Homo-oligomer: A and B are copies of this chain.
Amino acid sequence: MRYDDRHTLPDKQLPYGVVVDLTNLSKNKVRKMANSELRCKSEFHGAVIQGDLEEQDPSILFPNIPNDASLLSLDIGGTLVKVVYLSRHNTTCMKEWTKELSDGVSSNCPILGGLLHFVKFETKNLDECIEFLQSEQVFLGASSDLCQSVGSRKSIRIKATGGGAYKFANVFSERLGVTFDKMDEIASVVVGANFLLQEIDHEAFTHMNGEKIFININHNDLFPYLLVNIGSGVSMIKVTGNGKFERVTGTHFGGGTIFGLARLLTECQSYDEFLELSQHGDNRALDLTVGDIYGELGYPKHNLSASAIASSFGKVNGKRKLTEYKIEDIAATLLRDFTYHIAQISYLVATLSGLKRIYFGGSYIRGHASTMDNISYGLNYWSKGQIEAVFLRHEGFLGGLGALLSNENIDVDDLIPCKFIKQLPSGISTVRGESQGVPHGNLSEKAGLHEEVERLRAEVERLQKDNTMLNDKLEKLKNNDD
């Protein structure tokens, strides 16, 4: 177990509306998420996830948001449009909120916050997204300008990222009269991930053999890490600090590949339908395993078990047509083999980049148990247990959230101080554990060099001391002579 002090939350213990004591905010939490492109003036402290811990893309409560905030952002990718928008506390919200704060929980300031919502649409159905955005409710939260004058829509600027921010800017301008403030996609994803990992509890978790375990991240030891963002394609980003990152590489075999092939091979209509199909199939109907080639003993000499996949789709030999295969088996094969691939390449890139931690984000994870289990299994297999896959609940909204957090209308000075009393269900630790990595075997040469450097430095120091001592002695002897 690489992440200490973790806690498991079985269903019966699921809390609703966890609130964190903001009085304990340490100074190191006050940090900037700025880089050359993005500037996050607001720190959005005290943000907490709403809903139960199993909820996918849960809303986030921001206790204090300045009045002039224009909080709506779009991340328009190749497959999906991710919308992040703020809804101000209306009466109903406030009632719920007040209810949550009962029993010893109180605030010592008026709550001028809101709920941040996360919604997605298929890029090919852009109309649905535009119709959604046209609803007053969304724009109400999105821009206070709009409340004052519907006729002033032309002046509304929306933070947008992803390729579609460039490609569809005209469509949004014509249909909604809004202008895009285009934010760099990779930079936005990094800002979003860093924010979630640094500020939001119950965001990061591992998922192995069906078990979801939330992890506590040591904020002093978050960096560096590899961020693997699984969208239509996959981007792999080395993150070394707030605003410090490099897109190391990517793979063109991403979610869009799985979905594209699934559409052709199974005629599924949605990715969720595909995922459902995959749960009822067996990849061994199409995958050629080591056992298929070597027999039931596998190929132990090179550590290849009989069940290991030797060749994805390698059992398809032309004797059966596509229609003679079960679509469930095809779906199971696609999901397993491409998630394994992503795990493998993530491991290789992380090791090559000297990184011990990998966080997975992106819309194609979908909080789907098998998807995450496969990635975890693959990463565990290839790293020989040295690296554990960690997922984020707002996996698909890293870019959208990052774009939103760089909203320049918000200044950190506008934030209203606010205090909540901690409300935690029993059994949940608030201790922030250390996220410790074990150097991987393949890095042993480098580790050896590091050791040699340390040894030599100590030797240099020792010799320098000796020299000083000898020089002193010489000096004394000379003085004695004089």
User: Which residue numbers of A lie inside 8 Å of B, CB to CB?
Assistant: 77-79, 124, 162-164, 166-167, 184-186, 231-233, 247, 249, 251-257, 259-261, 263-265, 267, 269, 286-288, 290, 292-295, 297, 299, 301-302, 309-319, 321-322, 325, 330, 337, 340-341, 344-345, 348-349, 351-354, 382, 442, 445-446, 449-450, 452-453, 456-457, 459-460, 463-464, 466-467, 470-471, 473-474, 477-478, 480-481
**B456 and A257 contacting across the interface, CB-CB below 8 Å:** no
Q: Are B288 and A233 in contact (CB under 8 A)?
A: yes
Contact call B78/A293, Cβ cutoff below 8 A: yes
Bound-state CA distance A352–B315 (Å) is 31
Chain B residues within 8 Å of A450, by CB = 449
Query: Which partner residue on chain B sits nearest A321 by CB separation?
Result: B267
Q: Could you say which residues of chain B place their CB within 8 Å of the CB of A290?
A: 163
Across the interface, name the chain B residue whose C-beta is closest to A442. Answer: B352
Q: Is the CB of B260 within 8 A of A315?
A: yes
A268 and chain B: residue at smallest CB distance: B318
B470 and A322 contact, CB distance less than 8 A: no
Instruction: List chain B residues, Cβ under 8 A from A340.
Output: 252
A257: B residues at CB distance < 8 A = 311-314, 337
Contact in complex: A294, B263 (CB < 8 Å): no
> Are A445 and B442 CB-contacts (below 8 A) given A166-B295, A167-B295, A348-B349?
no
Question: Of B77, B251, B315, which contacts A341 at CB under 8 A?
Answer: B251
Residues of B within 8 A of A185 (CB): 299
Chain B residues contacting A313 (CB-CB under 8 Å) are 256-257, 260-261, 264
- Nearest chain B CB to A178 CB, angstrom units: 19
Once the chains bind, are B456 and A288 in contact (CB under 8 Å)?
Answer: no
Say yes or no: B260 contacts A316, CB within 8 Å.
yes
Cα of A252 to Cα of B315 in the assembled complex, Å: 12
**Could you list 17 examples of A-B contacts with CB < 8 Å?**
A124-B319, A163-B299, A166-B294, A232-B293, A233-B288, A249-B344, A253-B312, A254-B310, A254-B311, A256-B311, A259-B314, A260-B311, A260-B316, A261-B316, A322-B322, A467-B470, A477-B481
Rounded to whole Å, the gap between the CB of A230 and the closest CB of chain B is: 11
Which residues from B are CB-within-8-Å of A311? 78-79, 231-233, 252, 254-257, 260
Which of B345, B463, B470 has a CB less than 8 Å from the CB of A348? B345
User: Which residues of B are found within 8 Å of A318, using beta-carbon distances?
Assistant: 124, 263, 269
In the bound assembly, the distance between CA atoms of A348 and B473 in angstroms comes to 56
Q: How far is the CB of A83 from chain B (nearest CB, A)?
A: 18
Question: Across the interface, do A265 and B263 meet the contact criterion of CB distance under 8 Å?
Answer: no
Minimum CB–CB distance from A473 to chain B (whole Å) comes to: 6
A466–chain B nearest beta-carbon distance, Å: 6
Knowing A264-B325, A457-B456, A460-B459, the reply to whether A314 touches B269 (Cβ < 8 A) is: no
Complex partner residue of A162 from B293, B337, B353, B445, CB under 8 angstroms: B293
By a CB distance below 8 angstroms, the chain B residues around A310 are 78, 163, 232-233, 252, 254, 256
**Shortest beta-carbon distance from A460 to chain B in Å:** 5
Return chain B residues, CB-CB under 8 Å to A286.
Answer: 260
Give the docked Cα–Cα distance between A344 and B163 (Å): 24
CB-CB < 8 A to A470: which residues of B?
Answer: 467, 470-471, 474
Among A288, A292, A382, A453, find the residue whose CB has the most chain B CB atoms closer than 10 A: A288
Cβ of A79: which chain B residues have Cβ within 8 Å of it?
311, 314
Note all chain B residues with C-beta closer than 8 A to A299.
163, 185
Q: Which residues of B contact A231 (CB under 8 A)?
A: 311
Alpha-carbon gap, A295 to B247, bound state (A): 20
